[in-house]
Amino acid sequence: MINSNISNEALGIFRKGLARFITFDEAEWIEFIRHLDNIVIKKKDHFSVKDKVCDDIGFIISGSVRYYHIKDGTELTGYFSFENEFVSSYKSYLTRQPCTGYIQALEQTEMILISSKNMDLMLNHPLLGYKMERFGRLVAEHYICCYEDRITSFITKTPEERYLKMLETEPEIMLRIPQHYVANFLGITAVSLSRIRKRTLIYA
């Protein structure tokens, strides 16, 4: 039975997002969507939490999330994801070990999910196995590159340069994310971010 809990609109968005990595013919697609689930996460609720295994990869249909850790009682924001992006605590998902951090919805967020169990079923499915293997590899390569870019920016760029690059590549962050989270993401205080914003506006 085809999964009827997910709207055709959401499936269309998901299929378009997947096309960056893999495409399906109609027979494959019909079989593939049998293995999907969906969820709506309320603002400030969590997709995954520390010390529990992350069972799902999510694809954001609408909304946004932040990745963060807690150190000495302070939340440290490391990343954000928005529409048409995949979300997971990937190490936990792959190794079945507990998460070391948190993923929290910053807005009401709708996702399509691929559970670890369903991924295993598809990897062993004669119609889907090859494409899901390719999907896993390409998604991993994509996020490894994103992680390397983030590490490199912290080593080679000033906070102001990181801020300007963020405005260039991810302008929605400043429109949708609270400023203190953005400052944390950039590795600076909210006061420093405010000064950078004022300075860059003056020279714009």
**Nearest-angstrom CA–CA distance, 165 and 37:** 35
What pLDDT, on a 0 to 100 scale, did the predictor assign at position 197?
A: 86
Residues in the chain, pLDDT under 50:
1-2, 202-204
- Locate 109 and state its tokens: 């967020």
- Locate 56 and state its tokens: 């799902």
Q: Which domains does the chain have, with CATH numbers?
A: 8-127 (2.60.120.10)
**Nearest-angstrom CA–CA distance, 196 and 159:** 8
Task: List, for residues 24-37, the tens digit of each pLDDT value.
Answer: 999 999 999 999 99
- Locate 138 and state its tokens: 């390409």
- Locate 25 and state its tokens: 């013919």
Q: What is the pTM of this model?
A: 0.89
Amino acid identity for residue 139 in this structure: V
Q: How far, rounded to the nearest angstrom, does the alpha carbon of residue 44 sit from its chain's CA centroid?
A: 16
